[in-house]
Amino acid sequence: MPREDVLEGKVALVTGASRGIGYAIARRLGRMGARVSICGRDQARLEQSAAAMRGEGISTLAVPTDLTRADQISTLVQMTEQEFGPIDILVNNAGTGVFGPFHEFGETEWNTVVDTNLKSVFLLCRAVAPEMMSRQTGHIINISSLAGKNTFAKGAIYCASKWGLMGLTGCMAEELRAYGIRVSAICPGSVATEFPGQGGKNASKILQPDDIAHAVAALVTQAEGSFISEVHIRPTRKP
């Protein structure tokens, strides 16, 4: 895909971007001209992804980060701003899940999923929003899930985190729209990644990471004066 440069001069931060959906989003934004900061826990894989993006001519910063820790989030934001400048686009993509009867899980599983899928978004948005508010511009895109709209057996903790994320996203959108900041949620169905719970699904009949990246590209190029608050993405044919 050729470079489009419609985001020339913009700075994007994408979480969980060492692979899968996050990598596809970061790469797409970079091909659109943005300077991209990516984070993940696996330093080796993160650096590999960053090297691949740099090989395409994308200005890329890789910062190993545990997003459940406020101190590491502060470091991530500071390093991004020092390297590239104020953040224009924040994509909260990092996520995890556990699946099974709710009563068989303990506090450890609950905390891991909710802290990753919900708390980290709150912490990152809290860190980035004041600068966006002062500049009266910005995009915040939260990668949620159709599990944030629908319930299903053996998905209690994951669904709880994503339903919470939808509530957080909606409230932030209402608070920040007066500052010219657009906050949106993207809710995909199953995507062909290494995410837990995808086993046994035909990868050719479910969504691909680039499908989500395409939606992000559409949101960040939306004409001024309006914003798309929520996007649902499903495969054309049911798996």
Catalytic residue among 53, 67, 76, 158: 158
- The gap from C-alpha 3 to its chain's centroid, in whole angstroms, comes to 22
38 touches 8 (CB < 8 A): no
158 given a catalytic annotation: yes
Using alpha carbons, select from 167, 6, 192, 175 the residue that is nearest to residue 89: 6
Q: What are the start-end ranges of the H helices in 32-119? A: 43-55, 70-84, 107-114
* Sheet arrangement for strand 60-64: 60-64, 35-40, 11-14, 89-92, 138-143, 181-188, 230-233
Percent helix, strand, coil in the chain, to 5, is 50, 15, 35
Using alpha carbons, select from 130, 64, 124, 55 the residue that is nearest to residue 90: 124
Tell me how far apart the alpha carbons of residues 44 and 33 are, in angstroms, rounded to a whole number.
25
Tell me how far apart the alpha carbons of residues 118 and 44 are, in angstroms, rounded to a whole number.
25
Active-site residues, by number, are 158
